Structure 1
Amino acid sequence: MQKIFEEVSLLGFGCMRLPQKNGAIDYEAAEKLVDMALEGGITYFDTAYYYHDQTSESFLGKALTARHPRDQYTIATKLPLSVVQEADDLERVLDLQLKRLNTSYVDFYLCHGLSADAYFNKFKPMGVEAFLKRMVKAGKIRYYGFSTHDKPEGLKQLIDDAEWDFVQIQLNYLDWTELDAKTAYQHLVDKDIPVVVMEPVRGGGLANLADGPRQLLERRFGGQSAASIALRWVGSLPGVKVVLSGMTEPYQMEENLDTFSPFVPLTEADKLAVANIVTALKSLPVIPCTACNYCNVCPNDISIPRIFARYNNYVMFERPEELIAPYERFIGEGHRAEDCEACGICVPFCPQSIDIPGWMQRVVEKREEIRQER
């Protein structure tokens, strides 16, 4: 099964964070990135039905397939699970995606954000595996897999129940232990399933480290960027076949191409240095939330783990903006720290014994402090 990635570049271009102008894809700037990617040896282009308000696939149809020979690259896109309500929707949606992409086939087709729950309760009864196999025979897709944010045990259920050509997971040197990505990765390696990695730099967080971790990185790696070390750490794992990077600026493309041309795996001493960086990151004054969701008893449905994750990103990566724009984008009104009534109902449910109301108040105060400094 590993052979399907033999001629695919280790660095993949994730088309979820393309340059924008006036709220839409900046075609001229994004087209230049596509050309840079191809010239630099990237052959894996990853998109999805939803990306850029459903315009990413169409962009690739114009910037990639309409301008470059189809045998020079591979395309990965994803089945939008929320759009599929019945079996007849499966091929209808795929045909729409092929039309957007201006191609007769997709090389890598993924069930987008699949969980064990969704698979066993909805998509297995719908016959999704039989559909995917039928599309392979029809020549509309070459290989199929899924992307997932499910826990390792959910992932294992998925790969034990059906045959998958590859799987895409979130993996980086911090989530290796924080989200137990190590176990998820090992489940895939044990079954000889190729791994495609998303969020290798944790949404850009591992590119901007706080002072302590940054000093450790500079001591070992000198002038190499934090982002390049994060990418090399992931790419050094033998089961990883593609490392996706959502590049928005030409300098990011240039730096990543330099990192992978040629790719130099981390040494054991390098990996030890990265482990020390992880220890330093975890020693920062973060909220010890593991996102177990036991606190979801909140009568106001406060997004407790999400709020704490934004706060922790602010602390670990010195990114005050985490508590402003991303916070407000991903945490809906009425479910924010400001809406906590400090009733304390959630506190006994927390395995980490976190003072949830106290931390909620601290988040509110920090958000106000950041606003005043701007």
Structure 2
Amino acid sequence: MEYRKLPHGEVQISVIGLGASVLGEQPEKDIVETVQFALDAGVNFFDLAAGHAGIFPAYGKALEGRRKDALLQVHFGANYTTGEYGWTTDLNTVKKSIDWQLKNLKTHYIDFGFIHCLDEEADLAAYEKNGVLDYLMEMKAQGVVKYIGLSTHAPALANAVLDKHILDMMMFSINPMYDYGQGDYAIGSDGERHKLYRRCEKEGVGISVMKPFNAGQLLDAKQSPFHQALTTAQCIQYALDKPGVVTVLGGPGNAAQLKEILTYFEKTDEERDYSVISTMTPDESVGKCVYCKHCHPCPAGLDIGLINKYYDLAQQGDVMAKNHYLTLEKRASDCIGCGHCNGRCPFQVAQMERMDEIRNYFGK
């Protein structure tokens, strides 16, 4: 397993986490088996936005004696008091649901308390007016909640909450379908979405990725808009390459499916390469580096994807990005103009010219 540090703190998070949407539909013994398999494999980040309430007592059993090994992402606004999932901004209902979840999880604390699934400004207004946000912040002040998060599919709403400067983590839907305008949750242009990822990295807000496979649609050539099936490893790599991303939450239904997702760590760079998506990127995306590193290896030894990422972040005002750039062993000024990168870039980025631009920007 590989881990990434949450910027707001020292906690280390597994780059592959476990989602709950499909798992929650399974018999309790299968849920327990899958969670324990995940823990044994080094997975430590678990989202609990499930469609069925039965997942909570199952997690309570799976985590007995191992609570400290798990980071739980619990949603303030997901209601399970009826036995099934419901969405609410009513404060009393939220309190009852959180009490019920804590009892069934057999825990007294929540690692990540999330503002749950807000996509509209009106929903955020109701969440605040009803006192749910204040309740979440009170829980953090009391030490019951360790970190504050937000789950959303909408860049505009995400930016509105980021403006409050309360977030440590954001759960956002990232996959090539949504980023390039395909699918029900393809909210915002690719420029708006990528700008959001860069803002999260700049402000130290980690991103936990939901829907990396779009419910399996990206893994099926007949359903995929690319008319070619991507692999789980390609989808995971695509998400992990985005600025700010800390963990990618797959949604397996059992331990066998999770084991297949975890084969990501056995794949070569070529097997993780997702550049096939360049065949359907919109015109506005052509010529923009997505840090896929398909242009690597650079004959001069430049990490072209990372150089581009630091440049984009620095342009957004991230002072630390410039410092990171200056610590690189090879910088844009080391480009020898061989054209290898230009010829290999599936997104038609003029990388040689971009290296000139970056050298002039940083002065090195």
Give the TM-score, by structure 1 length.
0.62
8 Å contact from structure 2 (residues 234, 274) kept in 1: no
Q: Secondary structure at the match of 1:54?
A: coil
Deviation sequence 1:190-225 (CA, Å, 0-9, x none):
4331111100011110111249988867xxxxxxx6
CA–CA separation in structure 2 for the residues paired with 1:132 and 1:265 = 41
Query: Alpha carbons of 1:126 and 1:209: their partners in 2 closer, same or farther (altered >3 Å)?
Result: same
- 1:248–1:120 Cα change, 3 Å: closer
Which residue among 163, 168, 187 is the counterpart of 1:160? 163
Shift of 1:185: 2.4
User: Which amino acid is the alignment partner of residue 75 of structure 1?
Assistant: L
CA contact (8 A) 2:90 2:132 kept: no
**Could you tell me which of 47, 66, 70 is aligned with 1:69?**
66
1:46 aligned partner: 47
**Code of the aligned partner of 2:277:** V
CA distance in 1: counterparts of 2:260 and 2:95, whole angstroms: 39
> Corresponding residue for 1:122?
126
Name the TM-score, length of structure 2 as normaliser.
0.63
CA–CA separation in structure 2 for the residues paired with 1:158 and 1:202: 25
**Could you tell me which residue of structure 2 aligns to residue 27 of structure 1?**
28
Distance 2:27 2:164 in 1: 42
Maintained 8 Å contact 2:208/2:249: yes
Q: Check the 8 A contact 1:46/1:75 in 2, yes or no.
A: yes
Within 5 A, what are the aligned runs for 1:1-374? Answer: 2-4=7-9, 6-18=11-23, 20=25, 25-48=26-49, 51-62=50-61, 64-66=62-64, 68-80=65-77, 82-86=87-91, 88-150=92-154, 152-178=155-181, 179=186, 180=189, 181-210=193-222, 226-259=231-264, 261=265, 270-276=273-279
Query: Post-superposition shift, 1:114?
Result: 1.5
| Consecutive unaligned residues in structure 2, runs of 5 or more | 1-5, 79-86, 283-364
Aligned 8 A contact 2:200 2:207 in 1: yes
Unaligned runs of 5+ in 1: 218-224, 280-374
- Aligned residue number for residue 339 of structure 1: none
CA distance in 2, matches of 1:264, 1:43: 24
**2:239 aligns to what SS in structure 1?**
helix
* Structure 1 contact 233–265 (Cα < 8 Å) conserved: no
| TM-fit CA distance, 1:9 | 0.4
Q: How many residues align?
A: 260
SS of match in other structure, 1:174: helix
Task: Check the 8 A contact 2:114/2:151 in 1, yes or no.
Answer: yes
Q: 1:214 to 1:227 in 2, by over 3 A?
A: farther
CA distance 1:278–1:231, shift in 2 (3 Å): farther
CA displacement, residues 262-286 of structure 1 (integer Å, 9 cap, x when unaligned): 687789x93533323657xxxxxxx
Deviations 1:203-253 (A, max 9, x none): 110111249988867xxxxxxx62221111112224100100110133321
Q: Mark the CA change 1:40 to 1:175 in structure 2 (over 3 Å): closer, same or farther.
A: same
Q: Distance in 2 between matches of 1:130 and 1:263?
A: 45
Taking every aligned residue pair, what percent have the same amino acid on both sides? Answer: 22
Distance 1:108 1:15 in 2: 15
Q: 1:159 to 1:26 in 2, by over 3 A?
A: same
Alignment RMSD (CA, Å):
3.0
Q: Summarize the Cα distance change of 1:226–1:271 in structure 2 as closer, same or farther, 3 Å threshold.
A: closer
Q: What amino acid maps onto 1:108 in structure 2?
A: F
Separation in structure 2 between the aligned mates of residue 112 and residue 263 of structure 1, nearest angstrom:
34
230-239 or 101-110, larger mean C-alpha shift: 230-239
* Kept after mapping to 2: 8 A contact 1:172/1:233: yes
Counterpart of 1:9 in structure 2: which amino acid?
S
**Worse overlay, 269-278 or 161-170:** 269-278
For residues 125 and 14 of structure 1, do their structure 2 counterparts lie closer, same or farther at Cα, with a shift above 3 Å needed?
same
Contact 1:10 1:243 in 2 (8 A): yes
- Name the CA distance, whole Å, in 2 between partners of 1:176 and 1:214: 13
